Structure 1
Amino acid sequence: MATLVTGGCGYIGCHMVLALRDRGLPTVVIDNLATGFAWAIPAEVPFIQGDVGDGALLDQIIREHQIEAIIHFAASSVVPDSVADPLGYYLNNTVKSQALIAAAVRGGVKTFVFSSTAAVYGNPEIVPIPEDAPLKPLSPYGASKAMTEQMLADTAKVHDFHYAALRYFNVAGADPQGRVGQSTLKASHLIKAACETALGQREEMKVFGTDFDTPDGTGVRDYIHVSDLVEAHLDVLEYLRANKTNLIANCGYGRGFSVLEVLAAVERATGNKFPVRYAPRRAGDPAMAVAASDHLRATTGWTPRWNDIDAIVAHALAWERKLKDKR
Structure 2
Amino acid sequence: MLLAEELHDDLGHALSLVALNLGRLELEPGIEESRRDSIAASRRQVADAVARLGASVEVLRSGRSPALASRHRHIDLDELMADARAAGAVIEVAGQPSPARVAGFGAATVFRVMQEGVTNAVKHAPGKPVTVRFDDAGDRLRIVVTNELPAGYGRTGDEVGYGLLALGERVRLAGGTVETTDSDVFTLSVMLPREGTVAADRPASVRQAPNEVRRARRRSTALIWAAALVPVVAVGCIAVAVQLLTMQQAREAKLEPAVFARIEPGDARVEVESLLPAGELDRDDDPPAGGDCSYYAVTSNPLDDASGDYYRICFDGGVVVSADLLSAGHG
TM-score by length of 2: 0.23
- Rg (Cα) greater in structure: 2
TM-score between both structures, scaled by the size of structure 1: 0.23
- Higher RCO by CA contacts (8 Å cutoff, separation 6 or greater): 1
Higher helix share: 2
